[in-house]
Amino acid sequence: MTALISEDLIGSLNAKARTAHEDDFASLDRQLSRRGIDIEAMVERAMGWSVAVPTWGVGTGGTRFARFPGPGEPRNIHDKLADCGVIQALTRGTRTVSPHIPWDKVSDYKALRQEAAQYGLGFDAVNSNTFQDQDGQARSYRYGSLAHADAATRAQAVAHNVECIEIAKALGSTALTVWIGDGTNFAGQQNLTRMFENYIAAMETIYAALPSGMEMFLEHKMYEPAFYSTVIADWGSSLIAAQTLGPKAKCLVDLGHHAPNVNIEQIVARLIHVGKLAGFHFNDSKYGDDDLDSASVDPFRLFLVFNELVDAEARGAKGFNPSYMIDQSHNVTDPIESLMGSAVEIARAYIQASLVDRKALAEAQAANDALGAHRTLKAAYLTDVSPLLAEARMRQGGAHDPIAAYRADGYRARVAQERPEVKGASSGIV
Ligand SMILES: [Mn+2]
């Protein structure tokens, strides 16, 4: 294993925090004991938790207006893996990365897999890209890709996705995530039905190339880049497509890809009901697909999503095995800090949801005790599980405070010496 952050530094900072941490942990232990919850079981649960980091997330993001690169930005997939290794070393809850093709293209994927393993990392879902043109490609995606009116353009987009399946195999990944920007900007620009049929037919060809054990994640998004209609705009279109394609096709929920105020946790419940929940792209938003840091705007919504997930796990819902990934764009922060903070917040929501007294909740629901049921949820949500999460990190060699340790280590300044600023490097918003 390659140490990216000084282990001595992590150890000394953890030692400094030890007395206060033990006091806080013991207090939480007493509180949870009164509620009949075994803190050790919860620490084990937190230690088993992991969320994938997107390779595009470690570079500074941007908007369609501008991108403001920061110092020491990753120049390629090798730098990105190192940055993801730092996040894992300090948080111990991000054991996989989700790569993006062609942004992360290399000639030897077996070697890349070994390189990631040096940082304790594996590969989660591989993301294809037919929402922008690549150097040297024969046909443009300006008017779409898998749903394009032209069969040859659709075939080109299919071939790219099939190549991504081969890359996923080599990386040891078990999923292909397909998000397309296809849609229209004008009423009448295309036939809405034909576009969807083109998409389904193209996806059927990709689906046929999936090896056994590999799944296909369909990611819907309400709008952007198309603003009048989007082919896979919502979970309804996504579910119709997934059900048409077959059991290996499932629906991915990106928290930012819905209309404002939509009840996302209910969508999650519906997808669990039909055994079609692929997993998540975690982020937060206020207005649209803002790609803000997870739980930075509405931590209660994230908790409510996890409440559905923990409920499904507790009752052994059929086909329930979601993949968890972060999908954020960091414009005003150090991306490594944002991703570490988000990883901690997502783990927090998972553990808080695990504290819900499900028996009391079921009883309150059976008795139509609306406020009693709500108070049961709130009791879990309002529990500060920070000491429990810190304990889980430290037991695995991580940091009591990942962001403080990262700042003390000076990793960013160190890599800034080795990585000259790249103008116009890809901003990843997917
Ligand atoms: Mn996404």
Task: Identify the band that residue 222 occupies on the pLDDT scale cut at 50, 70 and 90.
Answer: very high
- Expressed in percent and rounded to 5, the helix, strand and coil fractions of the chain are 50, 10, 40
Q: How far apart are CA 209 and CA 285, in angstroms?
A: 35
Distances (CA, A) of 242 to 117, 238, 258: 32, 6, 18
Distance 135 CA to ligand 1 centre (A): 24
pTM, whole model, 2 decimals? 0.97
Neighbours of 308 (CB within 10 A): 21
Mean pLDDT, residues 360-372 = 98
Mutual orientation of helices 370-381 and 299-314 as an angle, nearest 10°? 100
Distances (CA, A) of 155 to 144, 266, 397: 12, 36, 48
Say whether 217 sits in a helix, a strand or coil: strand
User: pLDDT per residue over 19-46, tens digit each?
Assistant: 999 999 999 999 999 999 999 999 999 9
Distance 330 CA to ligand 1 centre (A): 14
Mean pLDDT, residues 185-194 = 98
Q: How far apart are CA 68 and CA 60, in angstroms?
A: 7
Asked whether the beta carbons of 87 and 339 are under 8 A apart, the reply is: yes
Distance 288 CA to ligand 1 centre (A): 13
User: pLDDT per residue over 68-106, tens digit each?
Assistant: 999 999 999 999 999 999 999 999 999 999 999 999 999
Distance 233 CA to ligand 1 centre (A): 13
Distance 339 CA to ligand 1 centre (A): 15
- What are 374's two structure tokens? 């709500």
Distance 312 CA to ligand 1 centre (A): 23
Q: How far apart are CA 42 and CA 349, in angstroms?
A: 13
Distance 9 CA to ligand 1 centre (A): 35
Distance 366 CA to ligand 1 centre (A): 37
Asked whether the beta carbons of 125 and 176 are under 8 A apart, the reply is: yes
Distance 35 CA to ligand 1 centre (A): 37
Mean pLDDT, residues 188-198 = 98
Q: Is the pLDDT of residue 428 over 90?
A: no
pLDDT at residue 423, as a whole number: 61
Distance 203 CA to ligand 1 centre (A): 18
Q: How far apart are CA 331 and CA 67, in angstroms?
A: 7
Distance 219 CA to ligand 1 centre (A): 7
